[in-house]
Structure 1
Amino acid sequence: MARKLFISVLGTGLYEKSVYTQGDIRSSETRFIQQATLELIGCKETWTEEDRICILLTDKAKELNWEVSSRKHPHTKEEIAYEGLNTLLQRMDLRPQITPVSICDGKNEDEMWKIFQTTFEQIQDGDELYFDLTHSFRYLPMLILVLGNYAKFLKNIRIAHISYGNYEARNEEGSPIVDLLPLTVLQDWTFAAANFLHNGRSEQLTQLTQQVFKPILRDTRGKDQQAQALRKFSETLNNITNNLQMCRGLNITEDKDICRLKESIDQLSEDIIAPLVPVVKRIELSFTKFIPDSNILNGLHAAQWCYDNHMYQQSITILQETIVTYICNKNKLSVTDKDARALVNKAFYIVYEKLQQNDEKWELPNYGKGNEAKDKVRELIKDPDIEKLSRSFSTASGVRNDFNHAGFRPNPMTADKLAHKIEESINKVHNIIFGDYVHQPL
């Protein structure tokens, strides 16, 4: 089980007593938001000796609010009874270790980074973090958001709680504790969406959507329509990206999942996470060129999509196999017959090498009976599109071989040249088959 770590900064103010509330939960009357927050998150009931409470404090905060029994009121100058936070925490009889950590005043950039580093050093790999942002520096919320993402990457932590005690908004019910966790959740969604749009990876998005819809479907026994739509979106997006990453040509050209993705997005409202909807719409835009039925265009769009997402080997593989599929369809050959596809490959080779009149040099695959293979090739090499596409097809073969042999061949291409050849081939093939092509990256 992950270690729980509570982190809060102790301020220097003379704090008045208040009951803090969140929903139906009410804290004890206390001067310190740290006590109220620890009650809110169930520290006494569920935390263990392995967990930890970390209080960050400057020298001034330690002097005024950590280990004191009285303080002078700033207005009346009267000495009043005033128990410091350390005394209150000890009285709570909590099982986790309570650790005061000295920090500097944070008056400049150098001190800000020292606070960042000091806080980061308190975190262990895999920790579950609970933050209280009520007191101290104005930039603390921003620093904590940055720190959280930094620690997610380097220490594989999970942020379970971020809150702010709003004493100024108190009423007869008490002072509200504001839940700030949705901010980091939205940030996670933004990073995951950016990762998808830049690299074509949907794993983070799938994980985040599951965190949202699984508990809702569990509590509603699968009846919540918004959660169902979010699950459908997650599963469909995962199917689409898996097909692209694994070069599943039939699924790509027939891509009914594109239609399902749009349907699931149209069903999403703002009820689950309001800012999520524009993020999802942005993801939908990346598939706008795909056609939700069987169409060879989807293969070319898939090659371009993979190229845009730096999936270069998938891009050239899908492009070349789409060319073969296009010729198969045009000449009434089965697109799933490996011998028929091999015949098309051979026809391209014959035309590119100008062997049309030297059929004794043709080395044909097994296809049909008798002279059926040779007769079919004679038919194929008369197809004007084979002539037009032969150079691009040969380039694609060279690029694929360079990839497949990891560059262990005479005169391997540089990485930049490979990428350039792929982009050039996509444009040429699209222009030959469908006319003028201008790609506009999202």
Structure 2
Amino acid sequence: MANTLLTTLGTSPYSETVYVFGERKADRTRYVAKALCQLFDIERVIVLLTQEAHDTHWKHLQDCLPPHVEKIAKAIPEGKTEAETWQIFDVLVDSIEANTRLLFDITHAFRSIPVLVLLGAGFLRKAKNVEIQGLYYGLYRPGQVETPIIDLTPAVRLLDWLTATDKFISTGSALELGQLLDTVQRDFYRQPKLGKRDPKPIRLQNFGQAIRNISRSLELVRPVSLLEDDLLRLQRYSTQELAEEVGQFAKPFGLLLQSIQDSYSQLALPADRATDAKAQVQKQFQLLRWYVEKRFTTQAILLAREWVISALCLCEGLPNYRQREARQEIEHQLGSLIPREDQPQAPPDIAAHVPDAQKLANLWSRLSQYRNDVAHVQMNPNPLNSEALESFVLQDLLPGLEELFPKLTWAEGKLEGDLSTSP
């Protein structure tokens, strides 16, 4: 796959200089594009330029670039209006084919083009699977023999942080943030000539893995793994040393570190109650509340149905609420709450644990129906519409459970409530 350079030219009479990148030097030239072709083995150069810039520089640039390099001129307006700005963006994006390896140069860019290049880089990565090799700027100063080429590639990654941050804030998922932390640490150790005494990130990868595990458990409704493993690992990695490392090597993440710790830690059990069945079920209700707040309708329905069974297991004095036989017995009793004219029977034992057995029957009936409807993904003649499912979760689910199980749906921050007597 050819390396492509996308650059710009204005109308200034550029001066000759020796462009330098790290320890490498290019031949003396007034066009940074020529230097970049030498330094980065470029095979195609795409130049954005106005008509005036084309008339001033295009022929001279063509003449100085290596013969094997493909040279492409793309006409752009001057960018004096919003409409022209979007025209420039369209030309930039349309000039690049999918799956290209691309370098950007903004040395001679003018007006809003540097911003458009940065945004275009982020867009091309996602929309066309373009591999961004680098974003560079030649820092020319009159009177200096050499001109350093500055690597601005981290600015492209800042867009990744922005996207991942938005996803965490809107959905609570830190999968992308965790991957970025992993990438930061891996990339750091790939840097050439890393000295033994140079500071190194050693905690970012583990913390990134921890928040990714939490996100996966949340997405796939794994409350046991979440409480017994994932959140404990998060607490273990949440140290002052981590905060200092984030500030040094992953600065954008520093603004989110406390928010992530607070968002996830609220779901964690205190260490001294990690094996307490009642505390576990109470925390699972808090997880259910989290799903509702984030509008995770499917996850909320799936968890709520199982939570009712767990709660009744505890009310029946069965602390091993995950045991299959115990859960089947509770399910059988819940089913018998729904009256049948052909088989009248006395209320089951579990009816004594709630203030209103009929409300429990109604809630269980709806939960069962909605859970089955979700699981069968509309593969039945009369599926429920999505609005009905969401309305139930957002409006009826939590109030209904809080009324039926007040001692297990505790006020935030408390893990109290004696289950030895009925509500």
CA 1:217 to 1:412, structure 2 compared with 1: closer, same or farther past 3 Å?
same
- The answer to whether the 8 Å contact 2:79/2:111 transfers is no
Q: What's the offset of the Cα at 1:32?
A: 1.7
Q: Distance in 2 between matches of 1:21 and 1:292?
A: 56
CA deviations over 1:276-312 (Å, ceiling 9, x no partner): 2213333333324212453223312322333444432
1:215 shift after superposition: 3.8
* Residue of structure 2 aligned with 1:348, choices 334, 351, 361: 334
| Cα distance change of structure 1 residues 111 and 225 upon mapping to structure 2, 3 Å threshold | closer
| 1:217-232 equivalence runs, <5 A | 217=189, 227-232=201-206
Taking the aligned partners of 1:417 and 1:305, their CA distance within structure 2 comes to: 20
* Residue pair 2:85, 2:112 contacting (<8 A) in 1 also: no
5 Å matches for 1:13-412? Answer: 13-40=12-39, 42-43=40-41, 47=42, 51-67=43-59, 84-90=60-66, 93=67, 95-168=68-141, 172=144, 174-217=146-189, 227-252=201-226, 254-266=227-239, 267-268=242-243, 269=245, 270-293=247-270, 294=274, 295-330=280-315, 331-351=317-337, 353=339, 358-359=344-345, 378=349, 380-384=350-354, 387=357, 389-407=360-378, 412=383
Distance 1:107 1:292, change over 3 A: same
Give, in whole Å, the separation in 2 of the partners of 1:224 and 1:317: 49
Q: TM-score, normalised by structure 1?
A: 0.78
Structure 1, gaps ≥5 residues long: 68-83, 363-376
Superimposed CA distance per residue, residues 374-421 of structure 1 (whole angstroms, 9 cap, x where no aligned partner): xxx63x332237847544333322221221233455764321221121
Cα displacement (A) at 1:192: 1.6
| Alignment-mate amino acid for residue 185 of structure 2 | F
Task: Identify the residue that residue 277 of structure 2 maps to in structure 1.
Answer: none
* d(CA) in 1 for partners of 2:310, 2:50: 69
TM-align CA RMSD: 3.3
Amino acid at match of 1:112: T
Residues of 1 paired with 2:313 and 2:169: CA distance?
Answer: 33
Q: Which amino acid aligns with 1:276?
A: F
Give me the TM-score of the superposition, normalised by structure 2.
0.81
Q: d(CA) in 2 for partners of 1:396 and 1:301?
A: 18
The residue aligned with 2:409 is 434
The DSSP-based 3-state class of the residue aligned with 1:167 is coil
Identity of aligned residues (%): 24
Tell me how far 1:347 sits from its aligned partner: 2.4
Verify: 1:11 aligned to 2:10, yes or no.
yes
Q: Say which SS state the counterpart of residue 131 (structure 1) adopts.
A: strand
**CA separation of 1:257 and 1:348: change in aligned 2, threshold 3 A:** same
Question: What is the identity, as a one-letter code, of the residue corresponding to 1:284?
Answer: Q
Deviation at 1:6, TM superposition (A): 0.8
Pairing 1:415–2:391 present: no
Q: 1:216 to 1:346 in 2, by over 3 A?
A: same
Distance change (3 Å), C-alpha of 1:289 and 1:125: same
Kept in 2: contact 1:229–1:265 (CA 8 A): no
Residues 234-282 of structure 1: per-residue CA shift (max 9 Å, x gap): 2212221222222223223x34322322443431421212222213333
Letter in 2 for 1:89: L
Map Cα deviations across residues 55-97 of structure 1 (whole Å, 9 max, x no partner).
1222211221222xxxxxxxxxxxxxxxx2222213xx5x442
Looking at structure 1, the residues matched to 196 and 377 of structure 2 have their Cα atoms a distance apart, in angstroms, of: 48
Letter in 1 for 2:49: L
Asked if 1 retains the 8 angstrom alpha-carbon contact of 2:20 and 2:146, the reply is: yes
- Structure 1, residues 303-347: CA drift from partner, whole Å, max 9, x if none? 233344443212211122122222223422532322211211222
- The aligned residue for residue 78 of structure 1 is none
Matched position secondary structure for 2:258: helix
Counterpart residue identity of residue 106, structure 2:
L
Deviates more, 1:11-20 or 1:275-284: 275-284
2:104 alignment partner, SS class:
strand
Aligned residues: 392
Which one-letter code corresponds to 1:88 in the other structure?
C
Between stretches 229-238 and 29-38, larger displacement belongs to 29-38
Code of the residue aligned with 1:87 in structure 2: it is D
Superimposed CA distance per residue, residues 73-132 of structure 1 (whole angstroms, 9 cap, x where no aligned partner): xxxxxxxxxxx2222213xx5x44222222233232232222222222221111122111
- CA gap 1:348/1:223 in 2 versus in 1, 3 angstroms: farther
SS of 1:191's partner is helix
In structure 1, give the amino acid aligned to 2:54. Answer: K
Say whether the 8 Å CA contact 2:135–2:151 is kept in structure 1: yes
Change (3 A) 1:218 1:31: closer
Q: Check whether the contact 2:175–2:215 (CA below 8 A) recurs between aligned residues.
A: no
CA displacement 1:189-212 (0-9 Å, x = unmatched): 120222233235444334433322
Structure 1 distance, partners of 2:340, 2:412, is 28
- Aligned equivalents of 1:209 and 1:202: distance in 2? 11
For the residue of structure 2 that corresponds to 1:100, the secondary structure is strand
- Report the residue type matching 1:243 in the other structure: S
